Amino acid sequence: MLSSSAHRAVESLLAFWAEAGVDAMLLDEPIDRIEAGKIAPPPAPIAPRPIPSSAVRPAPPGSDITAAVEQALSMARAAGDIEALKAAIEAFEGCPLRFEGAAHQAVFYRGDPAAPLMIVGEGPGAEEDARGQPFVGRAGQLLDRMLAAAGLADRVFITNTVFWRPPGNRAPTPAEQAVCAPFVERAIELVNPKMLLVLGASSAKAVLKKDEGILSLRGRWHEWRSHSGNLELPVMPTLHPAFLLRQPVAKKKVWSDLLTVTERLDRPDRP
């Protein structure tokens, strides 16, 4: 059995690769593919007879998110300010996380609704679910300290790609993020920040619509455009503070990203 220190080391290593975008594992034991290729494969199985279309069972209810996305779009567009959007999210029942992971309430935002910097994380955890605000647990406390050190403490609006806690604090799925995306976009339109800071691989992929790992995306400016095309904003992806709790050595990367954001935020507007 692994010692506690070895167990933590393995857990940190796995978390590092997951944050870097690795989503597959090699086998535990090596296989000599050359020798294996010398063995004749077994005969191909006989193809089963096609099943009549009338016998095919329909997809389970809820597997198609189209209706939920349309409902979210309608409710988000009707919200004229942040508090109205908060009420719309609290009334929305189209995201399955509301009934699977959340124990208490929707978790929308904290910070300044007129902030020049909008921060988008992945999803709320247990502490956030209990208190109704994003990033208030250990990861949020670390984020606050880093924002304060970078001179950004009172200049941010903080939210997530989903507003209900995923079961077991797992990363939200693309489908769950897609259902909540209209609310996120409406929040961006209402806050109208100068730029976005996205935290973690799941958030970066959802906002930027890219499949690259966070270690590849971070440290570089990207562009976000609203579906209407009326709003374009620079985006800086960086590592999630929860990852920094497991890998403190990576803090210098996030610190560099925050300084880049601060410099651009404080850069005088061109005439």
Q: What is the pLDDT of residues 208-241, one digit of tens each?
A: 999 999 999 999 999 999 988 889 999 999 999 9
Determine the 3-state secondary structure of 42 from DSSP: coil
Place of tokens 């971070």: 218
Percent of the chain with pLDDT over 70: 76
The pLDDT score that the predictor gives to residue 17 is: 59
Can you tell me the distance from the alpha carbon of 149 to that of 147, in angstroms, rounded to the nearest whole number? 5
Average pLDDT over residues 98-112: 92
Q: Which residue has the higher pLDDT, 42 or 73?
A: 73
Can you tell me the distance from the alpha carbon of 138 to that of 169, in angstroms, rounded to the nearest whole number? 14
Is the per-residue pLDDT at 62 higher than 50? no
Identify the band that residue 7 occupies on the pLDDT scale cut at 50, 70 and 90: low
Can you tell me the distance from the alpha carbon of 87 to that of 117, in angstroms, rounded to the nearest whole number? 23
Q: Which residue has the higher pLDDT, 6 or 225?
A: 225
Average pLDDT over residues 136-161: 97
Is the per-residue pLDDT at 270 higher than 50? yes
Is the per-residue pLDDT at 56 higher than 60? no
Is the per-residue pLDDT at 128 higher than 50? yes
- Kindly list the domain boundaries of the chain, sorted by start residue: 66-265
What is the pTM (predicted TM-score) of this model? 0.77
Q: Any residues with CB less than 8 A from the CB of 244 and at least 6 apart, and which?
A: 139, 142, 250, 251, 254
The pLDDT score that the predictor gives to residue 52 is: 41
Average pLDDT over residues 89-114: 94
* CATH code for the part of the protein at 66-265: 3.40.470.10
- pLDDT one-digit tens code per residue, 64-97: 899 999 999 999 999 999 999 999 999 999 999 9
Average pLDDT over residues 40-69: 55
Is the per-residue pLDDT at 58 higher than 50? no
What's the mean pLDDT when you consider all of the chain? 86
Is the per-residue pLDDT at 21 higher than 70? no
- pLDDT one-digit tens code per residue, 158-167: 999 999 999 9
Is the per-residue pLDDT at 253 higher than 60? yes
Is the per-residue pLDDT at 255 higher than 50? yes
Average pLDDT over residues 14-35: 61
Is the per-residue pLDDT at 178 higher than 80? yes
Burial of 201 (0-12, 13-18, 19+ CB in 10 A): buried
Identify the band that residue 50 occupies on the pLDDT scale cut at 50, 70 and 90: very low
Average pLDDT over residues 163-180: 95
| Partners of 18 in beta bridges | none
Cβ pair 130, 65 in contact under 8 A: no
